Amino acid sequence: MNALALLKNVKLFVFDVDGVLTDGSLILLDNGEMARQMNIKDGYALQLAIMHGYDILIISGGSSSAVKIRLQKLGIQHIFLGVIDKKNLLLNFVAEHRLKKEEILYMGDDLPDLLPMKEAGVACAPADAVAEIKSIAHYISPALGGKGCVRDVIEKVLKLNGHWNEPNTLSSM
């Protein structure tokens, strides 16, 4: 089965933060804070997915109040930061929400994402993911982490399900 056929069944998008929603870079500030950069086009696609009833689940090993605030402003309700066991969190979420494996799209970029990606019906990776992640991915986005890879997979799923060409009712946060 090709990757596009798999995308048709997606109901839950699961994203890592660093290396997927960001480019993986950290800007070290004098006060000890670490800043990240996110893509506004990814944000728009996340909002559009939520508007059409898709669930978004964020699972990250990192922990940043700025990241959490940004994601909450986009309307994402399921945000888990500082997670050590991503696979266990994913399995518990899926069981609680009674989802099937084929309804889950997981996009990750590095080794902590390997095991949870194997639990998803559609494993996706940004173009700059590590080799181990790319080797299990059903779909590798041509976009880099933090540079539109999230928009790419959301757009594909929404287009396949007739949800992309809707009137613009969202902000471009």
Q: Name the residue ranges covered by the structural domains of the chain.
A: 3-160
The predicted model gives 89-112 an average pLDDT of: 97
Q: Over 70: is that where the pLDDT of 170 sits?
A: no
Contacts 24+ apart (CB under 8 A), 88-94: 89/59, 89/116, 90/14, 90/57, 90/59, 90/116, 90/119, 90/120, 91/119, 93/57, 94/12, 94/119
pLDDT in tens, 11-26: 999 999 999 999 999 8
What rounded mean pLDDT belongs to the chain? 93
pTM: predicted TM-score of the whole model, two decimal places:
0.93
* CATH assignment of 3-160, among 3.40.50.11610, 3.40.50.1000, 3.30.1360.40, 3.40.50.620: 3.40.50.1000
pLDDT in tens, 28-68: 889 888 888 999 999 999 999 999 999 999 999 998 899 99
The predicted model gives 111-140 an average pLDDT of: 98
Q: Over 90: is that where the pLDDT of 164 sits?
A: no
